[in-house]
Amino acid sequence: MFSINLIFLYLVLFLFTAFISKKLKLYDEPNIRKIHTSRVFNTGGMIIYLFYLSIIYFFEFNYNIELIISIGFFICLIGFIDDRINLNPSIKIIFILIPSIYLIFNNIQINDLGDYEYIGFINLGKFQIPFLILALGLLINATNYIDGIDGLLLAFFMCCLSYYIFLIEDAKTINLIKLLLIPIFFNLILNMLPSKTEFKFFSGNIGSLFVGFFISFLTIELYNGFDVHPAFLIWPLWYPVYDFLFVSINRAINKKSIFSADNSHLHHKILIYFNNNHLKTILLFFISNSLVIYFGYLISNSSKLLSLIFFIIGFIIYFIARLKFKK
């Protein structure tokens, strides 16, 4: 009965979002940079957010996670506006950081980066707030970057939340995360429908910005509230972080704006390799991402310092490989 009620809730929110989207013509229009040839609803993120908001209204969970979801409304609003008028990237970052700073000053923050063998605690000291703002800006933009092909953002989100279930012991929070996976699963199906299907949904900037915002602060809360070491928490983020850093550095080297849109991301290259087959691309990402996360988990269990070193080495290897096989 419980599961049926949640599926019914999703169906209601789906139909409501579809009705509003059609009425207000909230579409992602095809253009020369985009692969889809028909206009597609870009409000899939709205379904996920409304589902999350409903969950925390009807059930009681961790207060900080509820606060993150509640404040996420402002992030979704920014995403909604960005999808309509294409905000200037600098202005968008400023608007994103305002609710983020609010959460930071409501004690959803970190004072250090964990305790490591031979090093001890890496304390942030007076760099705490600048580090958090920089890290949040990077990760939120990084998740926005990977929302470039059907299903990739949702596959990433699903991997993160599924992994978190195995890192925590609090039964109530585990149940919450399981509930949070429901709209992601159904949205992934909608996301993978053919372009000409009437009920195909893209996550849109509502979805990509909210996912980055939510994952960022959930990562902080897992460290602060559930004592999960950062060495375990960095690995689900490897692809958006690696890809964002590579693309940004490569654009800077070529004297381009780091915010300029192009098809230089790894997922675009893989999609081309698979002749624009989104399903094969997502399956490859899901499998390889899961293997990397599992590798990181095993290393972190063995040595927190070694895990951090491997994460940095991983980026260097990724960067060199991308430069070599850029074309």
Three-state DSSP string of 276-290: CCHHHHHHHHHHHHH
Q: Do residues 214 and 69 touch, judged by C-beta distance below 8 A?
A: yes
The chain-wide mean pLDDT, for the chain, equals 89
- CA angle centred on 324, ends 323 and 326, rounded to 5°: 60
Q: Are strands 40-41 and 120-123 parallel, antiparallel or unpaired?
A: unpaired
Q: Which of 257, 210, 212 lies closest to 69, judged by CA?
A: 210
- DSSP three-state, residue 115: strand
Q: Do residues 99 and 74 touch, judged by C-beta distance below 8 A?
A: yes
Could you report the per-residue pLDDT of 124-146, keeping only the tens digit for each?
888 888 899 889 988 998 998 88
pLDDT for 198 beyond 80: no
Single pTM value for the model:
0.92
Amino acid residing at 172: K
Q: How far apart are alpha carbons 39 and 25 in whole angstroms?
A: 10
Could you report the per-residue pLDDT of 259-295, keeping only the tens digit for each?
777 777 888 888 888 888 888 999 999 999 999 999 9
Q: How far apart are alpha carbons 44 and 57 in whole angstroms?
A: 20
DSSP string, 233-267: HSGGGHHHHHHHHHHHHHHHHTT--TT---S-SHH
Could you report the per-residue pLDDT of 58-97, keeping only the tens digit for each?
888 888 999 999 999 999 999 999 988 888 888 888 899 8
